[in-house]
Amino acid sequence: MGRIGIDVGGSFTDAVMLDDAGGVRIAKVPSTPSRIEAGFLDALQDLLAAAGARTADVAYLAHGTTVATNAVVTRSFARTALVTNDGFADVLAIGTQMRRNVYDLWTPEPEPLVPRERCHGVPGRIDAQGVEVEPLNEEAVRCAAARMRSDGTEAVAVMGLFSFLNAAHERRIGEILAEELPGLPVTLSSDVVPEFREYPRAATAAANAALMPLVGAYVGAVERELAEAGVSAPLHLMQSNGGVAPAERARDRPIALAASGPAAGVIGGARLARDAGETNAITFDMGGTTADIGIAPGGEPQIRFDGDAAGTPISIPQIDVLCIGAGGGSIASVDDFGALSVGPASAGADPGPAAYGRGGQRATVTDAHVVLGTLGADRRLAGRLPLDRGLAEAAIRRDVAEPLGLGVEDAAVAVLRILNANMANAVRVMSVARGLDPRDFALVAIGGAGPMHGCQLADEVGIPRVVVPRFPGVAAAWGLLATDIRHDLRRTWRRPTAQVDPADLDAEMARLEAEARALLDGSRAVSLGDDLAWELDMRYRGQAYNLTVPLGPRPATAEAVAAAERAFVAEHHHLYDYTPAVPETEIVTIRLRASARTAPAHAAADPQAPSETTRQRVYDGAWADWPVVPRGALSTAAPLAGPAIIEQDDTTTVLHRGWTATALPDGALVLERA
């Protein structure tokens, strides 16, 4: 039986299959932007054909998709309405006093996800203690539903004041909308974000509702394709929090997928770094469209609990990752002032770089590598796409060399230097800007283009080691199999720490645990057991921000609360070098991370007979012969000294002069500066 992970990227769709004996099969096919599920099925069929397996042999299927991410970036949302309390229909338009550019009074703020004319206020009020002070006016809700019916509303978000304490009004509004508008997707803020602060809660609920028709249609199309192909294994989708969830959960909580695109790469990179013996890792996932930078001190990717969607805040747990427009398809251009830029625009999968010979005309990073000899003209990218050196040279000459007055090789070198500088700045933002020294980390180079830039990027920021996993080009798909099924639950529970009754805290934890167990029950057939991890959001009294610290297991005790308070004080002092003279703390939110463990992802090495050829490559301004070595031919007995080009189906690793490559028993490479 096989476990399969399929990750859809902007240029390629990657797939990995692991069998019970640790055997690995990979597939990499061009993505199909106009019909994403078609590329998904192409990758699945290629994978099964390579493994000689049948669809009935698929025991577990995890999928990473950028459908929600792309919708957020392009604001391709369903026509959404908001129902809230009378007098609060302007909540999305007003937002907060926080400005993106404090001193810029002219640049308009992004338009709210729901325009004012589709925001409906209805009488009824729950107070700050969760007590009803004004009954819900059900007739007003029905009138609002009639207006929605007439204006073509496709989804509805509901946000009632203090619904995180008492959701009765929200739930009744949801019931009325189901009666009046049957089949219309409805999101209750108390289900998605049971936390205080009305604006982020309303914005998150609105974003979730706006994505439900799109994500629901996509998940339905994938499930139909799988059913027609004879795959009976349940479908799981990657979430922004670094875990996967069953498809039906993704339909109800599509906002949890909004930042899921790069999450699998960070999870896979961090796990593979640990397997290679690296405690601290910076993951560098460079594909065809973006370079995604994540950081995993202690081997665990960092999580944040808020983010941004189409210019509005969203409150969802997500892997902390920085994405920049720097990939193999990033377009190089020279502006009217003679400045060279690379990205963020990308040639994508269709038509792709000029070297693909599929109609692309613009010079890209891939074209620069073909011109310089990093990618040989005799190679087939991802095992199927031939590369045309003549087309690559023509594009670099026209778009870069002639405007700058350079030779075509010098122009290609300039493209890569600009690109590497952009990516180095991103690594510094994720490390140096946060008080972390990149010299204490290993760089995990993954993605189809990551290993080509690993050594140069490490040199730029002073990182001493680069880890290249056995199958770096499909590391995001590997990450789908390396992660667990995960559900994040939270609820605002504000109490001064000194006044907390452990019994009251445990009762609230019990309610969250019951919700979590119900969610985990849907994954029993593919999980190996459950894990529950508790955390508290805490702050000093009077603060507007909080920090998240661990809390011990149930039942809650006074000792566990005191330990959490000590952890908060220590973390606050570490981050801000300050502790109030009278350190009164309070609990703000209880968090529960519920995980269903999946089978570990391990691969057996696949050695090949030693073989070596040479290729002409530009280095230090001149052509030189570089050894070209198949990845599987590297020996664990003797390091390979650079310069060298290491080739495999899913990527190419460039080992620069002054670096050595050592193969580990599991097939991973560790590149070290000599």
Per-residue pLDDT tens digits for 456-486: 999 999 999 999 988 888 888 888 887 888 8
pLDDT value at 607 more than 80:
no
Which residues are CB-contacts of 177 (< 8 A; sequence separation ≥ 6)? 83, 141, 145, 156, 158, 184, 186
Which residues, in sequence order, are bridge partners of residue 644? 655
- What is the share, in percent, of the chain residues with pLDDT greater than 90? 42
Q: Is 325 exposed, middle or buried (0-12, 13-18, 19+ CB in 10 A)?
A: middle
CATH of domain 78-210: 3.40.50
Give pLDDT tens digits for 553-573.
Answer: 999 999 999 999 999 999 999
Q: Cis omega (within 30 of 0) on the bond before 386?
A: no
CATH topology of domain 485-596: Dna Ligase; domain 1 (3.30.1490)
Write the DSSP assignment of 544-564 as a string of letters: S--EEEEE-PSSP-HHHHHHH
Evaluate if residue 597 carries a pLDDT over 70.
Answer: yes
CA distance 629 to 611: 7
Q: Which residues pair with 647 in a beta bridge?
A: 630, 652
This prediction's pTM? 0.82
Looking at residue 524, what DSSP letter applies? G
Intervals of CATH 3.40.50 along the chain: 78-210
Residue 381 confidence (pLDDT): 62
Q: What does residue 543 show for φ and ψ, rounded to 5 degrees?
A: -80, 155
In the predicted structure, residue 106 carries a pLDDT above the cut 90: no
Residue 533 has pLDDT above 90, yes or no: yes
Name the DSSP class of 570. Answer: H
At 6 the pLDDT is: 87
pLDDT at 620 over 70: no
Q: Pairing between strand 291-296 and 281-286? A: antiparallel
Alpha helices in 194-236, H assignment, sequence order: 198-229
Say if CB 313 and CB 193 are below 8 A apart: no
584: which residues sit within 8 A by CB, 6+ positions away?
Answer: 496, 497, 498, 540, 541
Residues carrying CATH 3.30.1490, the chain: 485-596
Strand partners, 3: 18, 60
How many Å apart are CA 666 and CA 657, to the nearest integer? 25
Place of tokens 């698929």: 58
Query: Which residues share a beta bridge with 533?
Result: 593
- How far is 122 from 145, CA to CA, in rounded Å? 11
- pLDDT tens per residue across span 629-646: 888 778 776 788 878 888
Q: What is the mean pLDDT of residues 243-271?
A: 85
Say how far apart CA 299 and CA 667 lie, in whole Å. Answer: 20
Instruction: Quickly state the pLDDT bin for 609 (edges 50, 70, 90).
Output: very low
- E-strand ranges in 221-280 read 235-238, 244-246
- The C-alpha atoms of residue 445 and residue 283 are separated, in whole angstroms, by 7
CB-CB contact of 162 with 125 (8 Å): no
What pLDDT shows up at residue 202? 93
